[in-house]
Amino acid sequence: MSTAHFDFSGQRVLVTGASSGIGREVAQQLRASGAEVYALGRDPSALQAMADQGCHVLRVDVADQAQLAALLAELPVMHGLVNCAGISILEAATDVSAAAFDQVMAVNVRASAMVAGSVAKAMISEGVKGSLVNVSSQASLVALDDHLSYCASKGAMDAMTRVQCGEWGKHGIRVNSVNPTVTLTPMAQMAWSEPSKRDPALAAIPLGRFAETAEVAAPILFLLSDAASMISGVSLPIDGGYTSR
């Protein structure tokens, strides 16, 4: 999918969860569109590959609050942010454990809030206008079996997006979230390869297929760009129509 119509030359953009999946695709497309990309993740070999493509790489466990705060304090002022770091721990609603719930919330919600807050504070201090995108999920909009912690975390992320939109809009900072369906990262391809699991999920998507990472990255770049200059506070499903039913 071409990104030639996006031009982020002269802009610094931080992408969390850039080691793999949607985050990696976003970082690569931003770099191809001229952005100075700061790619944050945990996988050293994946980050080295991003460095080889011209990204600044930052290795950190976003669940480690002290480590994350120290890293954020050293960053230059950004023009954009994509909060893509996330995890999922599947448990039946009757078996939700405190440890798993806290772990999911620490990564998906707390870290995203801390990163966005730090980035926005620096932007406001320097009078820099820009755009932040939180990568949520269709799981914030519908009930998914065995996903209580994950659904709760993504619902919190959408709520966080609206608050950030309201508080930072007066500074020229737009904040939106995107809500993808199953996206075919290498891990997801393996997880959804079993027909008994895959086929019912596909049947619930009007377009009849899962998303490719490029199909999620392109709307994110749109929301970061000036083409979306009047869009803020939106939670945008990228789900082939799944949540329309």
CATH code of the domain in which 67 resides: 3.40.50.720
CB-count exposure of residue 38 (10 Å: 0-12, 13-18, 19+): buried
Q: State the catalytic residue, choosing from 121, 129, 154, 170.
A: 154
Residue 145, domain extent: 12-183+212-239
Inside any domain, residue 135: yes
User: Tokens in use for 29?
Assistant: 């497309």
pLDDT of residue 1: 47
Rg for the chain (alpha carbons), in Å? 17
In angstroms, the Cα distances linking 185 to 44, 74, 151 are: 18, 31, 20
User: Tokens in use for 35?
Assistant: 């952005």
Inside any domain, residue 117: yes
Q: What is the 3-state secondary structure (H, E, C) of the chain?
A: CCCCCCCCCCCEEEEECCCCHHHHHHHHHHHHCCCEEEEEECCHHHHHHHHHCCCEEEECCCCCHHHHHHHHHCCCCCCEEEECCCCCCCECHHHCCHHHHHHHHHHHHHHHHHHHHHHHHHHHHHCCCEEEEEECCHHHCCCCCCEHHHHHHHHHHHHHHHHHHHHHHHHCEEEEEEEECCECCHHHHHHCCCHHHHHHHHHCCCCCCCECHHHHHHHHHHHHCHHHCCCCCCEEEECCCHHHC
Q: Could you tell me if 164 and 121 are in contact, meaning their C-beta atoms sit under 8 angstroms apart?
A: no
Residue 43: what residue type?
A: D
Q: Is 154 a catalytic residue?
A: yes
Q: Write out residues in the chain with pLDDT < 70, as ranges.
A: 1-4
pLDDT of residue 243: 93
Inside any domain, residue 188: no
Inside any domain, residue 4: no
Inside any domain, residue 63: yes
Q: Could you tell me if 19 and 12 are in contact, meaning their C-beta atoms sit under 8 angstroms apart?
A: no
Gap between the Cα atoms of 245 and 239, Å rounded: 11
Gap between the Cα atoms of 209 and 227, Å rounded: 28
pLDDT of residue 197: 87
Q: State the catalytic residue, choosing from 121, 150, 197, 242.
A: 150
Inside any domain, residue 37: yes
Inside any domain, residue 86: yes
The pTM assigned to this predicted structure is 0.95
Please tell me the total count of domains within the chain.
1
Inside any domain, residue 82: yes
